[in-house]
Structure 1
Amino acid sequence: MMTHIRCMIIDDDELDRLVLQHYLKQYENIEIVASFDSAEKAIPYLELPIDLLITETNLKGMSGLEFRKLAHKIPACIFVSSHPELAAYVFEIDTLDFITKPLTSERFHYSMQRLFEFFKVKEKCECYDAILGHDFIKIKESGNIFQVRKTDILYLEALKDYTRIITLEKKTLYSGFFRQSSTQKLF
């Protein structure tokens, strides 16, 4: 199944924006929902459901790097830049790819293949979490993380700063306070 991807473009060079739009229109599953010449203009649109941000690193005013920190909820980000020396830095702020200018169709296509792979893996992870995540709790023991089926838990035993999880198979001692994710109820 091909994921529908909603994209935002930010580049202060009009020609580069048009080239990006032209390349993106070749992909049926990518929709350009917004295109801006500055990061400041894009800020009000951060509440839209955006899946992909393509931005220039060096913009007038707020840089693309600063904007990415604000747009951390957007799952995929591709930076475009004529400054290859920034490549190492952008990967420190949750970046899928870095394309140097001038943009070429071959390099852009390669980046889109990485994007599609990213969303394919993301979708598999979400399916896996949907199948297992609701019926399991995650336990960290001796540096290893494993899952315990909720229905296998007989009872929990409080021991001062520890919690013992008793199942039919084994007793697990959990160090620290027993916590679960805020989105998940134990029983």
Structure 2
Amino acid sequence: MSKINITCIIVDDEPMALNLVESYVEKTPFLQLKKKCGSAIEALEYVKENPIDLLFLDIQMPDLTGLEFSKMLPKETRVIFTTAFNEYALEGFKVQALDYLLKPFDYAEFLAAANKAHTWFGLIKGNIEQQITKEKDFLFVKSEYKQLRIKLADVLYFEGLKDYIKIWLKDNPKPILTLMSLKNLQEELPETQFLRVHRSFIVSLKNIDVVERSQIVINKQRITVSEQYKPKFLDFIQNNSL
């Protein structure tokens, strides 16, 4: 099984609480802290642009509570609530929180909750090759009034052009052009096989030839990894490096 690394942010309007949880995260090898946020609104702006696995999230905050914020998160993002009010425990589990830490909590309690997250993400991220065998291996796309069956194994990368997508395939010098947005396409693709690295590109992970600084080379084509998508790409590289 590959090494599991969990990206996380801490959200709390109390600076002392932020610093305490930060110290706990730094002690935990599989957690990678990406940001500390003093409000749910600040965190909301961050996660819009930066995919995150896990939030350590306070509940009682002004303007936007942690419970309200948790309902706005992408379905793949998970939450561990941190709060001084135990009456929110039931509501926390209703929004599928992984755990609920009641302040004040020590590192042992924090680690127990973090380990729950590690187990959960291990099931999701764990054995990538085994997951791939269970996923669909083709898509039908409409092109020139025909429905073409595209083998995902043959795809090098997808290139977005406004409302259209170019599908670049192995051993095919010309791309297939289809009317679709990259956002809609991304939702249909297996996450273990394809990754969005730029607002205009989704790449086949297994067909990457070279990674050089902030660029990917696939079939002699250079594709830049933009800052917005770099954290998830760097996680992929780290999880598949010797």
TM-score class normalised by the smaller sequence: 0.5 to 0.7
Helix, strand or coil at the partner of 2:21? helix
Could you list the structure 1 runs, at least 4 aligned residues long, displaced by more than 3 angstroms after superposition.
Answer: 124-129
Structure 2 residue aligned with 1:53, among 49, 52, 55?
A: 55
Distance in structure 2 (CA, Å) of the matches to 1:70 and 1:93: 11
TM-score normalised to the size of structure 1? 0.68
How many Å apart are 1:22 and its aligned residue?
A: 0.2
2:33 maps to 1:28: no
Larger gyration radius, structure 1 or structure 2: 1
Q: Deviations over 1:110-146 (max 9, x none)?
A: 111111111111124765441122259xxxxxxxxxx
Q: Which residue does 1:113 correspond to in 2? A: 115
> Is contact 1:10-1:35 (8 Å) kept?
yes
What do the CA deviations read for 1:35-84 (whole angstroms, capped 9, x no partner)? 11111112211120211111101111100011111113452210011111
Answer whether contact 2:4 2:126 (CA < 8 A) is retained. no
Letter in 2 for 1:88: L
User: Identity over the aligned pairs, expressed in percent?
Assistant: 25
Match of 2:172? none
Q: Which residue of 1 aligns with 2:19?
A: 18
Helix, strand or coil: the match of 2:188? coil
Q: Contact 1:53/1:74 (CA < 8 Å) preserved in 2?
A: no
Counterpart of 2:88 in structure 1: which amino acid?
L
Q: CA deviation at 1:92?
A: 0.9
TM-score by structure 2 length?
0.53
- Of 88-97 and 118-127, more deviation after overlay is shown by 118-127
* Residue pair 1:54, 1:80 contacting (<8 A) in 2 also: yes
- What SS does the aligned partner of 2:7 have? strand
Q: Which residue of 1 aligns with 2:7?
A: 6
Instruction: State the alpha-carbon separation in 2 of the partners of residues 128 and 75 from structure 1.
Output: 22
- Where 2:46 maps in the other structure, the secondary structure is helix
Measure the CA separation in 1 of the matches of 2:84 and 2:129. Answer: 38
Q: Which runs of 5+ in 1 are unaligned?
A: 137-181
How far does the alpha carbon of each residue in 1:10-36 deviate from its partner, in whole angstroms, 9 at most, with x for none?
001111111100000012232211111
Q: Does 1:40 align with 2:45?
A: no
The answer as to whether partners of 2:57 and 2:66 remain within 8 angstroms in 1 is yes
Change (3 A) 1:65 1:103: same
What's the secondary structure of 1:25's corresponding residue?
A: helix
Structure 2 counterpart of 1:183, from 177, 181, 188: 188
Amino acid aligned to 1:70: M
Check the 8 A contact 2:101/2:109 in 1, yes or no.
Answer: yes
Q: How many residues align?
A: 139
Query: Are the counterparts in 1 of residues 55 and 80 from structure 2 also a CA contact under 8 Å?
Result: yes
CA RMSD of aligned residues (A): 2.0
